[in-house]
Amino acid sequence: MGSLFSSSISLRKSVRISDDEFLLLRDFIYEKSGIFVDVKRKYLFESRFSKHLGELGLSSFSDYIKYLKFDVKKAEELPRLFELVTTNETSFCRDLRQLDVFKVNVLDEILNEQRKAGKLELNIWSAGCSSGEEPYTLAILLHESLKRELPLWKIKITAVDLSRTMIEQAQKGVYGEYAFKTTSDDIRKKYFTKESEGWKVKPEVQKLVHFQQMNLNDSQSLKKVARSHIVFCRNVVIYFDEAMKKKVVGSFYDNLLPGGYLMLGHSETLHKISQAFKPLYHPGSIAYKKQG
């Protein structure tokens, strides 16, 4: 087999991380973000961080850990660290079946209850909103549900994410083709305008959503989120260990108004995490209703 590449080309490009360094870094990340990194991903870490270490002019992971803990710029480094440990792929209307379950079995019920109580108010919390596709999808869903009634309502969707870059991107509200892979053309034309960079979400959708950088491991800032009727937290807790899952779900419980709902991602469940919610099984999705 001939090759266009040198027969002695090496695979290692990165600084080596020792087992001790890995554990230190992992504990640091866990302490700051609640994200748990399995030891199996050690090499993935090496390669992901290696370029960044070079940019900082550091030659070992020990130096990087010192930098994170003691450097004058450590506060600036934290968001960068978070970027490196999170992934942010999503799209509009991801998991259509769940959204359908949500609309029919959760949203309509809550809207009706609010109407009955004469309080045309709705708070939704989108926790781990990435680049904004989920909260905007929810805002569009509300436009579609309430139609002309919408101006009478006071609606606030609080959308938070660990990554500052993602929040900035979400605030811009401009998306490429890939984000629309499961969205109908009608919806796209109705709620987005074509710009040179992509499709920009229209102001009437954007004004329902308030973005904010937030660390779900920071209980104090979670307490400042307005109490919600619904919490969406999809494909986030999958990165947490059991203790952190319990902690975050506990915060959602405290934040939810009586009878409020928690929606998780398709591959996530409260099984073994919390019994304070009643799971309502629908074809394709589970909605968790706050008890007590």
Partner 1 sequence: MGIKCFEELTAGMILASDLKASDGRLLFKAGTEIEARHIELLKRVGVAEVDVEAGACELSDGMLLEIEDYVRDFFLYVNPDSEPVVEMFRISLALTGDAVARGWCLPDIIQRRASNVEHMEDLFLKGMGSPETIVMHEAELASFPDIYFRIKEVLEDDSASATRIAKVVSTDMSLAAKLIKLVNSPLYGFPQTIDSISRAVALIGAKELSTLALGISAINYFKDIPPELVDMKKFWRHSITCGLLAKILATTQTGLSPERFFIAGLLHDVGRLIMFKKLPYASTEAMLFARENSIPLVEAERSTMDFCHTDISRPLLEAWKFPEGLSNMINFHHNPMEFPNPLEPAIIHLADNLTNAMEIAQGGMYVLPGVDEQAWEILGIQADPVLRDAVEQCQEQIDTILGAFF
Binding-site ranges for partner 1 (CB under 8 A): 1-5, 7, 9-14, 40-41, 43-44, 46-48, 87, 89, 95-97, 178, 181-182, 238, 265-269, 271, 281, 283-286
Question: Nearest approach, Cβ of 46 to partner 1 (angstroms)?
Answer: 8
Distance of CA 90 to the CA centre of its chain: 9
> Backbone dihedral region of 65: left (phi > 0), alpha (psi from -120 to 50 degrees) or beta?
alpha
Q: Among residues 70 and 281, whose Cβ is nearest to partner 1?
A: 281
* Element spanning 111, H or E: helix 108-116
Question: Nearest approach, Cβ of 193 to partner 1 (angstroms)?
Answer: 23
Q: Among residues 40 and 116, whose Cβ is nearest to partner 1?
A: 40
Question: Nearest approach, Cβ of 89 to partner 1 (angstroms)?
Answer: 5
DSSP 197: S
Q: Among residues 76 and 185, whose Cβ is nearest to partner 1?
A: 185
Strand locations in the chain, DSSP E? Answer: 121-127, 154-161, 174-175, 192-194, 199-201, 209-213, 228-233, 256-264, 277-282, 285-290
Question: Nearest approach, Cβ of 198 to partner 1 (angstroms)?
Answer: 14
Written as six digits, the tokens of 195 are: 């710009």
- Walk across the sheet containing 199-201 and list its strands: 174-175, 199-201, 192-194
Q: Among residues 18 and 112, whose Cβ is nearest to partner 1?
A: 18
Q: Among residues 178 and 223, whose Cβ is nearest to partner 1?
A: 178
Question: Nearest approach, Cβ of 232 to partner 1 (angstroms)?
Answer: 17
Distance of CA 15 to the CA centre of its chain: 30
Question: Nearest approach, Cβ of 154 to partner 1 (angstroms)?
Answer: 32
Say if CB 19 and CB 13 are below 8 A apart. no
Q: Among residues 4 and 75, whose Cβ is nearest to partner 1?
A: 4
Counts of helices then strands in the chain (DSSP H, E):
12, 10
**Percentage helix, strand, coil, to 5, in the chain?**
50, 20, 30
